[in-house]
Structure 1
Amino acid sequence: MSAYASTVVDAPADEVWGYLRDFGNLAEWLPGIDLCVIEEGGDSRPGTVRRLEGLGGVYRERLLTLDDDSRSATYEILECPLPVRDYRAVYRVSPVTDSGRAFVEWSATFAADDVAKLDKVFVRGVFEPGLAALHGRFRPGA
């Protein structure tokens, strides 16, 4: 199964990507995340592991790829309180060529016993609030 959300942010793609490429800053912009610390690795290199607290528990995630050319990153969940398996997510930032704004996509594939329920959890509880928070962060004059 896959979960997906997208938005257009009123800022240049390179500026939005410059912020999102930091694998250790999730608590700064994702509602519900109280703490984000790098446990292994660093500098947003593949293999870096972060620990998150919030959204009902503790999560550990590993950065798998970070590609500045395509403005995309892929990560996996190592541990979490949700009944999900084989979770891999990607977020990507692309330029909207006619406006100079950024198109941001966030998607995940995963396995679960109740796929429909977890799809809603990820889309409505994580992706959509996170993308909405980016609007506020990059709002002109913010």
Structure 2
Amino acid sequence: MSKKLIAIASTGGHYVQLSRIMKQANFDSNDILFVRTKVNEHDTSSFENETLIEDVSRDTLARTPIVAFQLLKIILKHKPKWIVTTGAMPGLTSIVIGRILLRKTMWVDSIANTKQLSASGRMAKKFAHKTLTQWPDLAGDNVEYKGRVI
């Protein structure tokens, strides 16, 4: 059941970016577990190495314990070496849990954030082992620019 990497993102643009990053990284798909948020209660996984969790945002913070528990179970079950996320709030939650469980963590801020890091990215840089931006002007203060990933 062990995975080298868990890749977590909210459904939509965050998940699209994360999927592209994982393709470029040339990981064996057996080494990655993708985790994304449900679109609705009837949503199902798109492929074998994907699992779904509930969504949480700053508008639904009361759901954070539910999502945190789901992520904790996934991380304990799969024992990843790395947790990588492009956001948003579920990704931030995974970074905090991963850090507590002594996993390596990486936040990749969205390419859409050209003027400043996202709100979640600004929090993630305090917890993540690595925080990456896709804009050179946003590097500094625990945030690295390594080039655009998409």
| Fold similarity call, TM over 0.5 | no
**Higher RCO (CA-CA < 8 Å; seq separation 6+):** 1
Higher strand share goes to which structure? 1
TM-score (structure 1 length as normaliser): 0.30
Higher helix share goes to which structure? 2
TM-score (structure 2 length as normaliser): 0.29
